[in-house]
A and B are shown apart, each in its own frame.
Chain A
Amino acid sequence: MIDLQDVALTLAGQPIIAPLNLTLTTGFTAVIGPSGAGKTTLLNLLLGLVPPTQGQITVAGTPVHGVHAHFAYMPQASMLLPWLTVAQNIALVARVTHRPVEPARLAAVLAAAGLTAERDRYPEQLSGGMQQRVAFMRTVMNPAAFRLLDEPFGALDAMTRAQLQDWLLTLPEALQRPTLMVTHDIDEAIYLADRILVLSARPARVVADIAVRPKHRDRTWLATQGALHQRLYALLQSDSVQEVAHAE
């Protein structure tokens, strides 16, 4: 369980995150908000890369201070090391923590990503979509109990992004551990998440916490979610969000 108790952040006198009280337990949670709202900053707070000005973050009951390894983190860019092969990039966490890599597990992850044939290729030899899949699988190979994804498919074209979203839903690995994903794409949030948190403009605060629990999640179902899309869009455009933006 991730618990944010009264967590706030002020940088150079500017409030970035308003006091937040939030609990994240299981499932896939998406965070959406206006551009520059502080979504990535929220992830940086959770990762310990930025210390909160006030409040406390606890992970599984343990307060976190400084950078820690409680989260498997996927940044916006793939950040693959160009001198490592696909397999070596996926197993990077084992390399840096001196843990042995189980060949069977690595093979399974490569197969799930559809990258078995590419295992000995280098990032420069892969397409953008393939590179993002490698980056995602690097996150999957991280044994941390929680996952943080920062706009994992944000840099890709619409078609590749949709393909990777579909692919993600076919992965049992993707859904096993609690995941928090930041995205600017409302449909992506609806399609992938069980819970959607809507942040206001700076200073960020949660203006809506919406559960999404379809019986069967596919593109046909997503096409019927116009009302939810409208509601989320309206929330992002709402007076409450805009007022905060104007008050900045």
Chain B
Amino acid sequence: MRKMRPVLALVVIGLIWQGLVWGWHVPPYFLPSPLAVGQALMTDAGPLTQHALVTGSESLLGLALAAGLALIIGVALDAWPWLYEVVYPLLVVSQTLPVMVLGPLLILWFGFGLAPKVILVILMSFFPVVVALVNALQAVPTAQSDLLATMGASRWQIYRTLRLPLGMRGFFSGLRVAATYCVGGAVIGEWLNASAGLGYYMIRAKNGFAIDKVFAAIVWVVALSLLFNMLASGLARAFQWQLRHLH
């Protein structure tokens, strides 16, 4: 029953929203009712699914590349303290820059295809993963690494046996955060320039004052974000299982 409470809250919010739209006669081009959004989701299910597949692919590709890059750079930052001292402050400062302002430049440099959208996703997803990974690696007790060193373990062995398994907890925690950001990155990329995708669909719907369709696209964005978050959680569980059973 406790797990149903958020669903119940959502239903109550939906009812209040529906009541307000009906009661105040809010025009649908300003704020459509939840029922209108539901109707748009049904009538435009085909095109929405097609556009969601495009956005989902861009997001997933960008997220996977960001995760791979974060894994390599995170381990390198942990392994070489001088690299950490040089690069990490720059990484932190780089986060003060709203990534979307780079959109026009990315289009200029990488054209109108898939690349600028995927790069935007990478830029938005990379930071939470690398920071969580580096923090987890640096939280590994020195005494535990020392114990392995006194057993004759090489540096790589210490990473393989201890640091990476512990660091991956941080990696997956960052990945779960990034999984919710990545769809937003792809949508922003599609706003700037695209011929398909939920961002492109939203712009077209907005230009046609079909605000119910804009909301329908938002529902899809939320659904994709939740799906990727669940995927990241599943990967984390699979990693923990693999750690215990494939030794």
B157 at the interface (CB under 8 A from A): yes
The reply to whether B161 and A95 contact each other, CB–CB distance below 8 Å, is yes
Asked if B153 lies at the interface with its beta carbon under 8 angstroms from chain A, I say: yes
CB nearest neighbor in A for B162: A81
Are A96 and B146 interface neighbours, CB within 8 A?
A: no
On whether the beta carbons of B149 and A79 are closer than 8 Å, the reply is no
B143 contacts across to A, CB distance below 8 A = 75, 77, 79
Query: Looking at the complex, which one of A75, A77, A96 makes contact with B157 (CB distance below 8 Å)?
Result: A96
* Contact pick for B244, options A68, A73, A83, CB 8 Å: A83
> What is the CA–CA distance of A47 and B143 in the complex, to the nearest angstrom?
12
Interface size of B by Cβ–Cβ distance < 8 Å? Answer: 20
- Tell me if A96 and B240 are in contact (CB < 8 A): no
User: Is B161's CB under 8 angstroms from A96's CB?
Assistant: yes
Given A79-B144, A81-B161, verify A67-B150 contact (CB < 8 Å): yes
What per-residue 1/0 map shows which CB atoms of A82-99 lie under 8 Å from chain B?
011000100011011100
Asked whether any CB of chain B lies closer than 8 Å to the CB of A71, the reply is yes
Beta-carbon contacts under 8 Å, A61-113 to B? 67-69, 71, 73, 75, 77, 79, 81, 83-84, 88, 92-93, 95-97
Q: What count of chain A residues pass the 8 Å CB interface test?
A: 22
Contact B151 A142, beta carbon cutoff 8 Å: yes
B65 at the binding interface (Cβ < 8 Å): no
A92 to B148 alpha-carbon distance, docked (Å): 9
Q: Can you add 18 more A-B contacts, CB < 8 Å, to A96-B157, A97-B152?
A: A48-B150, A49-B146, A69-B151, A69-B152, A71-B150, A73-B150, A75-B143, A81-B161, A83-B165, A84-B247, A88-B247, A93-B151, A96-B148, A96-B151, A96-B153, A97-B151, A97-B153, A142-B151
- Where the two chains meet, the residues of B that have a C-beta atom closer than 8 Å to any C-beta of A are 141, 143-144, 146-153, 157-158, 161-162, 165, 240, 243-244, 247
